[in-house]
Amino acid sequence: MEQAILLLHLALVVFLIVLILLQRSEGGALGMGGGGGGVVTGRGATTALQKFTWYLAAGFLATSLTLNVLAQSDRQGGSVLDGVSLDSLQSETDENGGGLLDNLAPPTIGGDEPANGGSDENLPSVPAQ
């Protein structure tokens, strides 16, 4: 159903672009373009193209809101990292053949001293292989 609404939405977009480009310019945009009898100067005659453009714009809005509601209903809460376990990271190997977690070291300030003062109490424990 979501894909059908998406296809309808894309068709509305294409038709809306074509209809807007087919219409005559109302002018007034930085002093360029068409004549004086437009939307700003009074109530002009509405053409069939303008009415159809409004209908397509309403359809575009409706399909946009529908797609948003469908996307939110399919969304699951949580983080991407919820599915990653520490064991799967240890079993992964880097380009040198070692485990990805084998080369982890505490960040250093300037020399060889760890940034946390040398204590390992704040670091997570990693089981040995």
Total domain count, the chain: 1
Identify which of 15, 5, 7 has the alpha carbon closest to the alpha carbon of residue 57: 15
The domain of 59 spans 1-25+47-72
Which residues neighbour 30 within 8 Å (Cβ) at sequence distance 6 or greater?
none
Long-range contacts, stretch 13-19, CB < 8 angstroms, 24+ apart: 13/60, 15/56, 16/53, 16/56, 16/57, 16/60, 19/49, 19/52, 19/53, 19/56
Domain assignment present for residue 79? The answer is no
Domain assignment present for residue 128? The answer is no
pLDDT at residue 54, as a whole number: 93
pTM, two decimal places = 0.49
Token pair 């080369």: residue? 103
Tens-of-pLDDT digits for all 129 residues of the chain? 889 999 999 999 999 999 999 888 766 555 555 555 555 555 566 788 889 999 999 999 999 999 999 988 877 777 777 777 766 665 665 555 565 555 666 666 665 555 555 555 656 666 666
Token pair 């310019």: residue? 25
Give the three-state DSSP class for 62: helix
Residues 56, 16: contact at Cβ < 8 Å? yes
pLDDT at residue 19, as a whole number: 92
Domain assignment present for residue 32? The answer is no
Give helix then strand counts, H and E, for the chain: 3, 0
Domain assignment present for residue 16? The answer is yes
Domain assignment present for residue 112? The answer is no
pLDDT at residue 7, as a whole number: 96
Alpha helices, DSSP H, located in 23-129: 48-74, 86-91
